[in-house]
Structure formats: structure tokens, C-alpha cells
Amino acid sequence: MLSDFESALLERGWRPARALKDDSVSSVWLLEGDDGPLLAKRSRFLAAAFGLLPRLLTAREVRILEALEGLEGIPRVHARLDACTFVRDFVPARPLSECSSIPDDFFERLLQLLDEVHQRGVACVDLSKRDNILVGDDGAPVLMDFQASMWLPPGSLRASFFGPLLRALQRGDRHHVYKHHRRRFEGAPIPPLPPELLSEPLGVRLHRVLLRRPYLAIRRALQGRQG
């Protein structure tokens, strides 16, 4: 008997091929269809305790991806499958953490992509993890996980009020790129370090204290209950 998830996919002509990720935070499925491979992402973070949260996280991530549509290196959203699930492009790529070598222009292109993302009012926020930076099969940088990101539409009232926070988090994005370069790919070319990144930006400290540590504590608690 097909699950509701599988039935909804088949109605749109998509077939689940295999699970790429399945944990307490989200599940990611590789899909097959007439137009080629796609990805389905389903949020389940704190679903048991706070049923509304996965829906809010999904809606926000979809809005951010739509705001970034057209940028090379950002997957395009195809559809919302349900309140907690959406389908997006599949990009053949490997996490930066699994790469022993990269193209000479990778970090330059990654910083250019980040500049374009930032110009659209988005801070990635969670680039401290190398798994969130992907190297495409063609050597180009790919960013696709925006669940923890911040978006303020340029020119909006929110952007006027929370702009300093957004810019602090965006400096944190760039800080993490230079950190990954320094720790693992120091021989690869990269533009000079901007003066504002010589010390740890405020956005990095805010992310660690307000988001990263609480997130890890909740995740460990959930894994403990499941175990």
C-alpha cells in the first residue's frame, strides 16, 4: 500500500528512487521523473512537540529559494507537495567536506555567489558546516540548504529595522568561507581577506549562541528519546 507521500508524488509523475537523508530534522528523497531527477525535502524538526514548526520552516525555506531563483548554483523549486514537503532541482554535487581537491576558481566563484545571495536580502547563516557547501560535478559552487537562513526583502520595512542583524549574519557567511579555506584548502586561490573579517564577526557569535547551541541540544535530546 502506497503512503500519502508516495501517492502525492506519483500523481505528479514523480517516483521516489531512494532516501538520501532521513533523521529527526528532515528527510530528503531522490525522485525520478520524465524531466530527470529531482529532490523532495520534508521537514520534521520538532514535529511531535510543535506540529506548526515544520510547516513554518518549509514555507520560509521555499520563499527564500524563490527569492533566489535564477542564480546559478541555487536549486529551483518545482512544487510544494504538502505543508511540510517541497520538490526542487537535483544538482549532481558533493559536500565540500568530502572533497580532497577543488577547481582553482572555486572560492572566488563561491564568494561571488554569496554576494549575489546577499544582494537579494538573504543570509545563509549555517555555512559553518562544510556539508552545506557543495561542489558540483562541473566544479561550480552550489548552495541548497536554507532552513536556518534569514531573508529580508530589500526595501521592506523589515529590512530597514533588522538590516544591521542581516548584515552581521552575512559577514558571518563570508567568515565561514575563509575559515574553510584556511583549515583545509589553504593552497587554493581566494580573494584577499576583507578587513572586517580579521576578527570573528558578531553574526558568527550570535549564530553560535542563539541558534547552533540550542539546535544541537534539542537534536541530541530527540536522538536520545529515539534511542
How distant, in Å, are the alpha carbons of 10, 20, 136, 173, 193 from that of 168?
Answer: 43, 33, 28, 9, 16
DSSP H stretches of helix in 22-86: 52-67
How distant, in Å, are the alpha carbons of 8, 30, 35, 104 from that of 16?
Answer: 11, 6, 14, 36
Domain boundary assignment for the chain: 4-89, 93-226
Write the CB contacts of 101 (distance below 8 Å, at least 6 apart in sequence).
Answer: none
Please state whether beta strands 93-95 and 85-89 pair in parallel, antiparallel, or not at all (unpaired): unpaired
Q: Rounded to an integer, what distance in angstroms lies between the CA atom of residue 156 and that of residue 214?
A: 29
Long-range contacts, stretch 7-10, CB < 8 angstroms, 24+ apart = 8/81, 8/82, 8/85, 9/40, 9/81
| Residue where the block lists cell 544541537 | 216
29-43 pLDDT tens trace: 999 988 789 999 988
57-69 pLDDT tens trace: 899 999 999 999 9
**To which CATH superfamily is domain 4-89 assigned?**
Phosphorylase Kinase; domain 1 (3.30.200.20)
**In sequence order, what DSSP letters do the residues of 191-220 get, joined into one string?**
PPPPGGGSS--HHHHHIIIIIIHHHHHHHH
Q: Which three cell numbers stand for residue 77?
A: 523549486
Please identify, in words, the CATH class of the domain defined by 93-226.
mainly alpha
175-224 pLDDT tens trace: 999 999 999 999 999 999 998 887 776 666 666 665 655 555 545 554 55
Residue 191's φ and ψ, nearest 5 degrees, are -60, 155
133-176 pLDDT tens trace: 999 999 999 999 998 899 999 999 999 999 999 999 999 999 99
